[in-house]
Amino acid sequence: MNKVVAYQIGSYLDLKLCTDILSLDPLFEDSDEVFYQKNEGEFIYAFQFGMISFFGISNQEIQTIISKLKRACKQYFDEKLKEELEVEINNANILVKFNKVIIPEINPEIIRLVMLYTSQSVALNRYGEITEKLIAETTKYTKYLELHGKLNISGNNLKKFIGRVLNIKNGILENLYIFDSPDIIWEDELLNQLDQKLKVTFDLKDRYRRLSHRIEIIKENLELFKDIMDHNESKKLEWIIILLILVEVIDMFIIKLM
């Protein structure tokens, strides 16, 4: 039985370099993704955000290809997130189950759609892990605030943390197109059915909403931290101004006495 296997192999993939390394002509490509047919019934789908998906290719050959693409990766992951989906070819209607999809034929556009959503599912898992760590890090600061009434993070580190969260949020918006579908599905009823069924089976929309909700919670906490830090800085400035005025008054008093 055929299967789709998707891996997150890095944080970024140079797609032009991927094409050079694989020496394959893309069936489809744009700035974010490239889709190849290696041999009859064998497909590779690479995404700029570090995801690569395979169909009809042996595990040994998959590992060889990933090893070759290592130099096209930024921040190569030794421990890779992975997801598999069995694909059965049957003339019956399209059927999508929890770990298997039944399709009428090996059609490049059908296979591409299955590979796309398998890859998106892995990406959701990846961003899920990242946001869980951010939540844990944020909670550490809120607990310290609760116990001590102050923050144990410097202004510079807080700015870096805010920048990291914003970059992750931007990455989610750029790389996860859960609510969008490839243009080709609007021209083919079969692809449209498959598109809807895959989104439901992988629970993509709800998982994406949970991810977005986590990011919003983290942002709210960081905005509160920033307000507290700005308030503390304002108090410091007030005391500095008061001390400067006091020094000036004392200086004038001394001059008058002399």
Question: pLDDT value at position 235?
Answer: 66
Identify the residue with better confidence: 237 or 146.
146
Tokens found for residue 239 = 């005391």
3-state secondary structure of 198: helix
242 found inside a domain: no
Average pLDDT, stretch 125-139?
92
Identify the residue with better confidence: 245 or 40.
40
Which strand (E) or helix (H) includes residue 257? helix 204-257
Q: Which residues does residue 3 pair with via DSSP β-bridges, in sequence order?
A: 86
pLDDT band at 243 (very low <50, low <70, confident <90, very high): confident
9 found inside a domain: yes
Q: How many CA atoms lie within 13 A of 257 on its CB side?
A: 6
74 found inside a domain: yes
- Maximum C-alpha span of the chain: 106
Q: How many structural domains does the chain have?
A: 1
227 found inside a domain: no
DSSP alpha helix (H) spans, 37-107: 59-69
Identify the residue with better confidence: 27 or 153.
27
187 found inside a domain: yes
237 found inside a domain: no
How many angstroms separate the CA atoms of 193 and 189, rounded?
6
pLDDT band at 175 (very low <50, low <70, confident <90, very high): confident
How many angstroms separate the CA atoms of 127 and 250, rounded?
59
Task: Find the domain containing 118 and state its range.
Answer: 2-219
231 found inside a domain: no
Backbone dihedral region for residue 23 (phi beyond 0: left; psi -120 to 50: alpha; all else: beta):
left
38 found inside a domain: yes
Question: pLDDT value at position 228?
Answer: 84
Tokens found for residue 95 = 């059927």
Question: pLDDT value at position 62?
Answer: 94
